[in-house]
């Protein structure tokens, strides 16, 4: 084993940090409810809304902060946010029904993504804002509104493919949205359907970490807003979607070191760091690295509300003034729909250690009472160490490097392909706590493969220093976490 352990310690803020320390509480929960177990902190999601709101205030902007529902299936989180001023972005009929059932009224809901007629009908019926993904969707929506006598529906055309002057800024092709170059045709269509739809603004969502691309899109939306105004509409909002990101790791130096060592391992300059020499997308060709590192940038110097702040302060490439100032000048509202960033520090996934085996090869393999798809970090390219939550204090814990496997009867059921360095070797009965899984990494891709039950979800909150809990679907935001009223 390499002498220096390559830790990737999770960033743990309060109260998640205290929760991870609460070994007895966590063991009680998994003893009762089984492994794996997902734990959510709904109050933290509400606190995150406030942090985004503070950025709005700093730029004197008003508007909506919507949770991108797709990032979580938790009822507790959605219900908790229904009790704040936040809105919600739903991307399917099921999510829309869930949001309505959690207490969101239609005026605080925005429907995004590809839409079937039933999804469109319920959205229009309940007064939700509808993102328009294309002209066909606009025609379909207008027809539904007229045919079924639905109220005039507020829409936000989603634009893509923004052109830049001088330097061509390439963006990855998006499957969604109307090309900005086709704006005139779009406005013609909105004009034809003026009786059925009311464009309240323009929208983009770009799957990129690049501020330059986003600045270009933001400016494109402002220009489109102006074009709508000239044609006699009264648009007010620019919806910039999500993608503000989250920092998963506590320490930049650990991430820098790990990624350098991974490259060295791929080039054969050190012992492998992964199961079967997996390169996470990198490969060596004649001593040179090829391929792209297929990992989420787990340590991010700029993410979440700070990322939004920076974007708003950024100068529009063509109009030459800060984007936030331009939006405000244009009397516009800002709408955002973060998923991952709103769920930062909002949950963790627990898995019990089922077996610890030392193989002939010298590797230590820790099998968990969970499947790889229960712990979605790896699937989303997030590399971060779990925290060992011991059942009993160990006399002298020894550091260890282990492979983590799931309990499916399947070779590929690896929780992560990475050799994980831990400050203490886990023992059967210990728990591993995977922190910060609430956004995308909890139940996004969980299956019932081989007849194994899915993880249960519980919501917790801290009350006078004591942790209270209830099942996720029994949570309502009325001042107690399940159980009997205080």
Ligand X SMILES: Cc1ncc(COP(=O)(O)O)c(C=O)c1O
Chain contacts with ligand X (rule: CB under 6 A): 68, 71, 89, 112, 205, 241-244, 337-341
Q: Cite the beta strand spans of 261-395 per DSSP E.
A: 282-285, 288-291, 333-336, 347-358, 364-368, 387-389
Tokens encoding 189: 């269509």
Backbone CA torsion sign across 376, 304, 211, 279? negative
Nearer to ligand X, 98 or 391 (CB): 98
Nearer to other proteins, 101 or 281 (CB): 281
How many other C-beta atoms are found inside a 10 Å radius of the C-beta of residue 113?
Answer: 16
Residue 110, strand partner residues: 89, 129
User: Contact, 298 vs 382, CB < 8 A?
Assistant: yes
Q: Does 295 bind other proteins (CB under 8 A)?
A: yes
Of residues 55-114, which lie at the interface with other proteins (CB under 8 A)? Answer: 60
| CA 436/CA 441 separation, integer angstroms | 8
Scanning 8-16, 76-84, 140-148, 164-172 for contacts with other proteins by CB under 8 A, the matching segment is: 164-172
Residue 466 touches which member of other proteins, ligand X, none, C-beta under 5-8 Å by kind: none
Nearer to other proteins, 23 or 319 (CB): 319
Q: Does 290 bind other proteins (CB under 8 A)?
A: yes
Scanning 20-28, 41-49, 169-177, 187-195 for contacts with other proteins by CB under 8 A, the matching segment is: 169-177
Q: Does 171 bind other proteins (CB under 8 A)?
A: yes
Q: Does 263 bind other proteins (CB under 8 A)?
A: yes
Q: What is the DSSP string of 380-405?
A: GT---PPEEE-SS--SS---EEEEEE
403 burial class (0-12, 13-18, 19+ CB within 10 angstroms)?
buried
Reported residue count of the chain is 486
User: Contact, 378 vs 403, CB < 8 A?
Assistant: no
Query: Terminus-to-terminus CA distance in the chain, angstroms?
Result: 53
Nearer to other proteins, 290 or 357 (CB): 290
Peptide bond into 36 cis (omega under 30): yes
Per-residue interface string for the shown chain with other proteins, residues 355-394, x marking contact by CB under 8 A: ------------------------xxx-------------
Closest CB 342 distance from ligand X, rounded Å: 7
Q: Which of 80, 83, 195 lies closest to 142 in space, CA to CA?
A: 195
Closest CB 163 distance from ligand X, rounded Å: 21
Scanning 37-45, 193-201, 284-292, 353-361 for contacts with other proteins by CB under 8 A, the matching segment is: 284-292
| CA 221/CA 319 separation, integer angstroms | 12
CA 404 to each of CA 282, 309, 349, 357, 416: distance values in angstroms, whole numbers, following the listed order: 22, 38, 14, 11, 6
- The HSE-up count of residue 415 (CA atoms within 13 Å, CB side) is 30
Closest CB 430 distance from ligand X, rounded Å: 32
Closest CB 41 distance from ligand X, rounded Å: 18
Residue 89 touches which member of ligand X, other proteins, none, C-beta under 5-8 Å by kind: ligand X
User: Contact, 238 vs 203, CB < 8 A?
Assistant: yes
Of residues 183-242, which lie at the interface with other proteins (CB under 8 A)? Answer: 207-213, 222, 226, 229-230, 242
Nearer to ligand X, 7 or 244 (CB): 244
State the number of binding residues for other proteins (CB under 8 A). Answer: 54
Contact residues: other proteins, CB under 8 A: 60, 166-172, 207-213, 222, 226, 229-230, 242-243, 245, 252, 256, 259-260, 263, 267, 281, 286-292, 294-297, 301, 319, 321, 325-326, 328-331, 340, 379-381, 440
């Amino acid at each position: 084993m390499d002498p220096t352990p390559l830790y990737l310690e999770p960033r743990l803020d309060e109260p998640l940090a205290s929760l991870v320390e609460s070994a007895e509480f966590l063991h009680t929960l998994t003893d009762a409810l089984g492994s794996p177990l997902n734990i959510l902190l709904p109050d933290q999601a509400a606190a995150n809304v406030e942090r985004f709101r503070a950025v709005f205030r700093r730029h004197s902007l008003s508007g909506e902060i919507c949770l991108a529902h797709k990032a979580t299936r938790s009822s507790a989180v959605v219900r908790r946010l229904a009790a704040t001023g936040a809105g919600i972005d739903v991307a399917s009929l099921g999510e829309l029904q869930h949001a309505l059932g959690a207490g969101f009224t239609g005026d605080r809901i925005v429907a995004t993504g590809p839409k079937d007629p039933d999804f469109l009908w319920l959205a229009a019926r309940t007064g939700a804002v509808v993102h328009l993904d294309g002209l066909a969707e606009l025609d379909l929506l207008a027809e539904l509104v007229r045919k079924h006598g639905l109220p005039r529906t507020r829409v936000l055309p989603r634009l893509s493919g923004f052109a830049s002057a001088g330097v061509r800024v390439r963006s990855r092709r998006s499957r969604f949205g109307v090309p900005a170059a086709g704006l005139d045709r779009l406005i013609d269509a909105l004009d034809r359907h003026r009786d059925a739809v009311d464009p309240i603004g323009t929208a983009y969502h770009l799957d990129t970490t690049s501020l330059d691309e986003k600045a270009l899109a933001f400016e494109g939306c402002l220009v489109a807003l102006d074009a709508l105004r000239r044609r006699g509409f009264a648009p007010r909002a620019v919806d910039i979607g999500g993608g503000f990101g989250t920092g998963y790791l506590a320490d930049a130096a650990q991430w820098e070191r790990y990624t350098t060592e991974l490259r060295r391992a791929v080039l054969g300059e050190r012992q492998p760091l992964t199961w079967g020499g997996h390169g996470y997308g990198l490969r060596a060709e004649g001593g040179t690295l090829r391929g792209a590192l297929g990992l989420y940038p787990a340590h991010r110097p700029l993410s979440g509300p700070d990322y939004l702040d920076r974007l708003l302060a950024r100068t529009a490439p063509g109009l030459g003034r800060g984007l936030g100032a331009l939006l405000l000048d244009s009397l516009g509202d800002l709408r955002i729909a973060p998923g991952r960033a709103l769920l930062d520090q909002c949950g963790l996934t627990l898995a019990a250690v089922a077996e610890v085996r030392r193989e002939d090869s010298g590797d230590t393999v820790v099998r968990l009472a969970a499947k790889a798809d229960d712990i979605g970090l790896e699937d989303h390219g997030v590399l971060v160490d779990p925290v060992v939550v011991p059942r009993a204090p160990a006399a002298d814990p020894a550091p260890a490097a282990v492979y983590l496997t799931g309990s499916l009867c399947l070779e590929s059921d690896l929780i992560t392909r990475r050799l994980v360095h831990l400050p203490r070797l886990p023992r059967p009965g210990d728990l591993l706590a995977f922190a910060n899984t609430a956004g995308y990494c909890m139940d996004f891709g969980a299956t019932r493969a081989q007849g194994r039950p899915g993880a249960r979800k519980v919501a917790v909150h801290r009350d006078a220093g004591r942790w209270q809990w209830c099942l996720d679907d029994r949570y309502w935001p009325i001042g107690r976490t399940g159980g009997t009223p205080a």
